[in-house]
Structure 1
């Protein structure tokens, strides 16, 4: 028999906008299954039986992780969810209706999926083939740009980055947001700032503070220390772009004629060198004046 702590429709409606629609997509099946199994235990537990226990108790769910069952006045409470209707009997167990969806411990990707503010980031992680890595043991620290942060990029930038031919560039950008190891806000506050920190892209970001706010390359950390099973997320309000060489920068900024001319003049290798170089770069409009 099973005991199911079943969230009602109102409980699902409490989740951030779009989360339920995202969870029922095929690519999120494993996350959805994990969440649903976290509401089920392989025992036949009436409310009377539970209330007779020495509460609070840890109750092992089908995910093999525990919920905390306690009392909320006269009602049972499971983690932060309150049982609003106990003891709905079924042929193979009992249902207790919950007023909230309860979430198990999630990895970095699962946390992003269930948050609702990281749709673009999750899409990018999958397009870059980094999902398995960021679901791995880690630990990792991710400076996670919100959808609003991606929307600050020039029009068409995200669509271009998601194209298969730009996968290597997308990988580098995403890796530029990831640190190896678990770096909490307390760790950062204990550093002598500003400090350069190496990312898994093997390029450094500059971590600093502006008042109480942590800054990463000028982006502000808006939410700190979102804990996951394999690391931490710090939410940021801008996408971090790794430094590039002169030719790549010109290509990214749509200096089409200049890049064509550099290629025709066989100067690509020279301008991709260690430098340093300063280029006074004519725009496409400047070339049209000729």
Structure 2
């Protein structure tokens, strides 16, 4: 039996299976793989819902659901004997990782325990866990990735809570050097004028989670930003440009959307 059939046969994964179906991930979990699934049982989901003040219906309708589930899946077949203390495992929500610690048991991200390991399936393995793993959102990911100026700007503009919201969002994130390349005094002026700064930042955000493979297919088209103005996407020599800025890294996935890195600041 594949991973989905194995979970169905084992019982106790009603919410997980419903979530996989709602998020459109059933086919992926029934695919060739191999995959390793850290699977919260129904008790884990019930505890999570209670602590979060959510109903199962609200969770299943959350736009972040697919990303949450992808954070529970690691490419390859990783048995419990392959796990070592202090290692990290990159998930399908790349580059988000799960930290592994071993101390009187196997723990994920410090506080979620593997309670039933090594349930083998034809296309991978399931490890049952006692909690729901929660990936970093756009702001947390930007902080960890070292987008210092962008994060400072988001804070000054009062957009932190918005970019930590359910989304989903696509953020074209300028590196620090992109802000430094602005004409002299412009960055300082923007940081002193939160409303203008917010307009500039919203010009870097598109509603929805637009992955690189979709962006490439938008050659010559304009996409609307959260500012209400559009940016034109062009492909030249296999590279993606948003007007003059070039996309230098793609598909940094997060809880509530995706980040693509650009080398210049977009100015509306």
Q: TM-score if structure 2 supplies the norm length?
A: 0.56
Q: Does residue 122 of structure 2 align to residue 122 of structure 1?
A: no
User: C-alpha deviations, 1:103-152, integer Å up to 9, x for none?
Assistant: 95111111101101x10100101111111111111111111001011111
For residue 200 of structure 2, what is the aligned residue in structure 1?
173
User: Given the alignment of the two structures, is residue 182 of structure 1 paired with residue 192 of structure 2, yes or no?
Assistant: no
Q: 2:7 aligns to what?
A: none
Greater CA drift, 104-113 or 119-128 = 104-113
Displaced runs of 4 or more, over 3 A: 63-78, 80-83
Task: Say whether the 8 Å CA contact 2:166–2:256 is kept in structure 1.
Answer: yes
Give the TM-score of the pair, scaled to structure 1: 0.52
Deviation at 1:190, TM superposition (A): 2.2
Distance, in Å, in 2 between the alignment partners of 1:173 and 1:74 is 45
**Deviations 1:67-113 (CA, angstroms, capped at 9, x unpaired):** 86745758465525887x954x7xxxx798x9xxxx95111111101
Residue 158 in 1 paired to residue 184 in 2? no
Larger RCO of the pair (alpha carbons < 8 Å, separation 6+): 2
Cα distance in 1 between the residues matched to 2:244 and 2:224: 16
User: Are the counterparts in 2 of residues 213 and 220 from structure 1 also a CA contact under 8 Å?
Assistant: yes
Contact 1:213–1:221, Cα closer than 8 Å, also in 2:
yes
8 Å Cα contact 1:56-1:71 kept in structure 2: no
Which of 227, 246, 251 is equivalent to 1:220? 246
Report SS of the residue matched to 1:219: coil
Q: What is the number of residues matched between the two proteins? A: 174
Q: Distance in 2 between matches of 1:213 and 1:74?
A: 38
Per mean C-alpha deviation after superposition, the further-off stretch among 121-130 and 67-76 is: 67-76
Q: 2:38 aligns with which of 58, 62, 75?
A: 58
Q: Give the whole-Å Cα distance in 1 for the aligned partners of 2:223 and 2:36.
A: 43
Q: 1:67 to 1:180 in 2, by over 3 A?
A: closer
After superposition, residues 79-94 of structure 1 pair within 5 angstroms as 79=89, 87=103
2: CA distance, partners of 1:217 / 1:197: 12
1:198 and 2:224 equivalent? yes
Cα deviation code 1:42-62 (max 9, x no counterpart): xxxxxxxxxxxxx9662769x
Q: Cα 1:86–1:178, aligned 2, differ >3 Å: closer, same or farther?
A: closer
| Correspondence 1:130-279 to 2 at 5 A | 130-163=159-192, 166-191=193-218, 193-242=219-268
Structure 2: any 5+ residue segments left out of the alignment? 1-34, 49-67, 91-97, 110-132
- Note if contact 1:72-1:82 (Cα within 8 Å) is conserved in structure 2: no
